[in-house]
Amino acid sequence: MDSPPPRIATADDAAAIGRLLHDFNTEFDTPSPGAAVLGERLVRLLSGPSMFAILVGEPALAVALVSVRPNVWYEGNVGLLDELYVVPERRNRGIGSAILQLLHEHSAVSRIDAIEINIDEGDVDARRFYERHGYSSIEPDTGESALYYFRELVSPPPAGTSS
């Protein structure tokens, strides 16, 4: 495998991550506030205790973004894998799996006791990928899948904004 190893990003990587996340949303026709706004936010967020990122390559060719919150049922924290993106020309080479491996190793030393992901029901490739890596949508208490519900309290970002 000729891909460089994943590493934990620093606030110095904020601009590169902002560009990748903007490209991600552009590829999937999802609104984005633009690479510059994302990069500025990430300088602040990656400097705090509640978000970290995993980056691959220089220039960056893949990123994972993880937000961290406490949970009363665990002694440690819970991480939510908000985004995982590999640029199109580098897919299907094990980069996603290498990122998840570092995510699990880093979580073990960072007092993160569980990792969560919200995945579209019809995204069978993603579901299979995460299931292969030990993730499940089945609540052990009930034997049922759990659905992710949300309600926005502010307007979403404007559609089609470019960087």
Residues that bind its own copies (CB under 8 A): 21, 28-30, 33, 38, 41-42, 45, 48, 50-51, 65, 67-76, 78, 80, 82-83, 104, 107-108, 112-123, 127, 130, 133-137, 139-142, 144-154, 156-157
Q: How far apart are CA 119 and CA 124, in angstroms?
A: 9
Nearer to its own copies among residue 2 and residue 75 (C-beta): 75
Q: For residues 45 and 10, what is the distance between their CA atoms, to the nearest angstrom?
A: 10
Q: Smallest distance from the beta carbon of 156 to its own copies, in angstroms?
A: 8
CA dihedral over 114, 21, 53, 155, signed as positive or negative: negative
- Comparing CB distances to its own copies, the nearer of 2 and 144 is 144
CB of 4 or CB of 102, closer to its own copies: 102
Residue 92 vs 149, nearer CB to its own copies? 149
Evaluate whether 68 touches 79 at the Cβ level (below 8 Å): yes
- Token pair 């894998």 is found at 81
Residue 104 to residue 155: CA distance in whole angstroms? 34
d(CA 77, CA 71): 6
CB of 2 or CB of 28, closer to its own copies: 28
Q: What is the DSSP letter of 29?
A: T
Closest approach, Cβ 153 to its own copies, in A, equals: 5
Work out how close the CB of 11 gets to its own copies at its nearest, in angstroms, rounded to a whole number.
13
**Residue 17: CB minimum distance to its own copies, A:** 9
What is the closest distance, in whole angstroms, from the C-beta atom of residue 68 to its own copies in the complex? 7
Dihedral (CA of 78, 106, 62, 51) sign:
positive
